[in-house]
Amino acid sequence: MATKQKIKRYEWNLEPILKNKSLSSWISEWKKTLEYKVKKINSFCDSPINFEKWLNNIKNEEKISNVIANYVSNHNCENLGDNQWIGIQQQLSYISKKYEDKLANLVHVYLQNEKIIKKYLTNKKFKNYKRMFALIFRERNHILPLEQEKLWTKLTATASGFNEIFLTLSCNDISFPTIKDKNGQEIKIISSYDLIKYTESKDRCLRKNAWVAFHHSYYQYMNTFSKTLFNNFLNANNYAKARGFKSYVDEVFFNDEINENILFSLYKNIENFKSIFIEYRKVKKQIYQKILKINDIEPWDLTTNYLKTESVTIEEAKKIVFEALTPLNKEYLDVIKKAFDQNWISFLPKKGKYSGAYSIGRTFGLDRYFILMNFNNSLDAINTLIHELGHSVHSYFYSKKQNEEDNLWPYCDSNIFYAEIPSICNETLLFFYNLKKYENNSIVKKYLIMQFIDNFFNCTTRQIIFSNWEYIVAQDINNEKTFTVASGIALYKKLIEKYAGLDKFKKNDEIYQYQYSTIFRIGHFYANNLYVYKYAIGQIVALYIAKRITNNEMLKKYFDFLASGSSLSPLETINLLGISLTDKNIYIEAKKTISDLIKELQKK
């Protein structure tokens, strides 16, 4: 099904995933594990031996399916319009749904045998499966009667369809116009990352044209995005209510093992950053007025990279990553070296490629933890690289721990609730490294401080605006309220004022209206996981850790956290770091840190 290709220096090498076997042979093995489940579904509880064989088959199935999923999905993300990989994904989907139908009663079988399973779990051999089955048994009130469950598996076959539509439209089908620089020279745009790169240009004409082209390209599809999003939330809410949840949001809270008070507490604490956000925007504007010699600062001026060194090579970025992460131990740095030496990373942007960045999930059975990004030779690109490496190294350590103890395989995973902590911790260590490196260079130092503060507010204030918007819209649709482009924009403006005190849409010129498209192109909104507020958790916790990472006690706690996988609940996992998300002090400390950096910017 797949052809091997010569691996170039900055491409990832996906072939080791298959371990010298063909993709078709992996698919055949996968089918065998599924057939075994179908055959043994009514007898695996008959004896401890059968129970152990059942668990081993599940483990093997997960390993094989992860190999297949990562190999195919990563190839597909290289070019979302590639018919070969689209076709393979569709065939895998058909296979998956076929067996989901046959195994629709599995949860019922688990629940019917709860007593005997719990008895088996008292055996030391199976003790590490207690959490796995506890999570299954807590679903009891949300499991449908058998015939309805079978119908459910058929009706939810297209549950991810809206996300696929969004990705195809935003990453592949949208074309970007040619833009001009101040000399009238035309520049061809291949991907959105080209435009982002040009918004950093010292050429004001070019960065304005790039800014306008970027936002307008998405703005012209706002109706399509909004209708896709409406139907996505409508479906998510209906699916959730069918399972006895009040809403899609309620279901996500249940899955994350938290209640909404955690979210509301986070909203309130981040709202308290409003005063320093307003102060920072004022200071940043003054700095750019002075450096650019422009009185009327526009949005496209605030993205300017005014440093003399405008471009950073990939090799330079690698070196910086190593040096920035030296506060972590040698074992951590050795994993980074593996990532570079073994081609874990797809660096370069190209037409049709997934437009964001990610480190793979579903890692059980893999020994390489791949990263896709779109490196554009900027300082921000180094941030992205070190961020995604944080995810991949996290995957490495919990995979290593779970594989050392073979029967911990169900926890070879990371819950999205805390997944951003290791990645943002890396970004913060990069900032501390750069701050020391350029302490005697006031121009570079100010730029780095502004970049760090921008990233801080992007992860906290900006993501909480997005999260609060998603929460309200999803709940409104659940309560059968109207959702349109106009209502979505009105809510967006209201939340900007609430958290940022900034009316970014005060101007009436048409080009400023293009910014409205931002709220409709947040990819996580289409994935139904209430994700974006978790960036704020990651930022606050990561800053707390990074400031203490040279302390041996914190370093030990951090590596215990990295190795824990999903063996504990999300809140218990974060507690390994000695942190409580409801403790106001961690937010107060973060606010003071940023406030002190703002004062540093005000120095001459």
Break the chain down into helix, strand, coil percent, rounded to 5: 65, 0, 30
| Short-list 334, 338, 430, 340, CA closest to 381 | 430
| Pairing state between β 186-187 and 358-359 | unpaired
In 3-state terms, what secondary structure has residue 206? helix
Q: Specify whether 405 is catalytic.
A: no
Alpha-carbon gap, residue 458 to 449, rounded angstroms: 14
Crossing angle of the two packed helices 379-404 and 442-457, in degrees rounded to 10: 60
| Short-list 89, 60, 71, CA closest to 17 | 71
Q: Does residue 126 come out as left (phi exceeding 0), alpha (psi in the -120 to 50 range) or beta?
A: alpha
Alpha-carbon gap, residue 475 to 160, rounded angstroms: 20
Is the sign of the CA dihedral 561, 562, 568, 573 positive or negative? positive
Of 388, 420, 427, 470, the catalytic one is: 388
313, amino acid identity = T
Query: Around Cβ 486, how many Cβ atoms within 10 Å?
Result: 11
Residue 479: partners with Cβ closer than 8 Å, 6 or more residues away: none
Question: How many Cα atoms occupy the beta-carbon half-sphere of 99 within 13 Å?
Answer: 17
Beta strands in 413-459 (DSSP E): none
Instruction: Name residue 180's beta-bridge partners.
Output: 186
Residue 374: partners with Cβ closer than 8 Å, 6 or more residues away: 191, 193, 348, 349, 353, 355, 356, 357
List the catalytic residues: 388
